[in-house]
Amino acid sequence: MSTQLDRFISLIQKESSELERLLPILQEEKTLLSQPNPDVLLPHNDRKEALLRKIESHDQERDKIMTTAGFESNKAGLEAFLATQQADAAIYEPLLRHFQVLIKDCAHLNQINNAIVQSRLRYTQQTIALLHGQELSFNQYNKDGVSAHKGQGRSLASA
């Protein structure tokens, strides 16, 4: 195997290990998001952020290996890179498949957690609008989270 492929496989193994550690953190986050006190997420977020920094670092190193070898850092570039390596595909294909499954699993959990956060944000924004005396509607906020209209109501503080 080439030195580039050795480094590449080593990075995939490290990143897979980090992703395996990230999965339970994302599952725990899903549970913590249902709790009324958001402060319970603070220590959890520190662990998650540290792990994500490591994953990002490995990802950047993989991209550097591919671009240094003259390939783009995308799926087509990956396929071309692997095709040029003098190695048996049986060595790296199972590892890549496992890596891709881990990425999909993490992305799926992250989407669920994002939906929970967005739902709670909408609820909070509606509560704030109510406290400010604005009329509530289902289209209270646009896709960017900005108020869709300016109400004529009075805030509770001035009532």
CATH architecture of the domain 3-140 equals: Up-down Bundle (1.20)
Neighbour-count burial for 7-19, b at 16+ CB within 10 Å, e otherwise: ebbebbebbbebb
Cα–Cα distance, 37 to 64 (Å, whole number):
42
pLDDT in tens, 103-114: 999 999 999 999
pLDDT in tens, 7-56: 999 999 999 999 999 999 999 999 999 888 888 888 889 999 999 999 99
Predicted local confidence at residue 147, as pLDDT: 63
Q: Is 85 helix (H, G, I), strand (E, B) or coil?
A: coil
All structural domains of the chain with their residue ranges? 3-140
Q: How many CA atoms lie within 13 A of 129 on its CB side?
A: 22
Handedness of CA 143, 148, 153, 154 (dihedral sign): positive
Cα–Cα distance, 7 to 52 (Å, whole number):
20
Predicted local confidence at residue 38, as pLDDT: 82
Cα–Cα distance, 49 to 46 (Å, whole number):
5
- pTM check: above 0.85: no
Predicted local confidence at residue 120, as pLDDT: 85
pLDDT in tens, 137-155: 555 566 666 666 555 544 4
pLDDT in tens, 112-126: 999 998 988 888 888
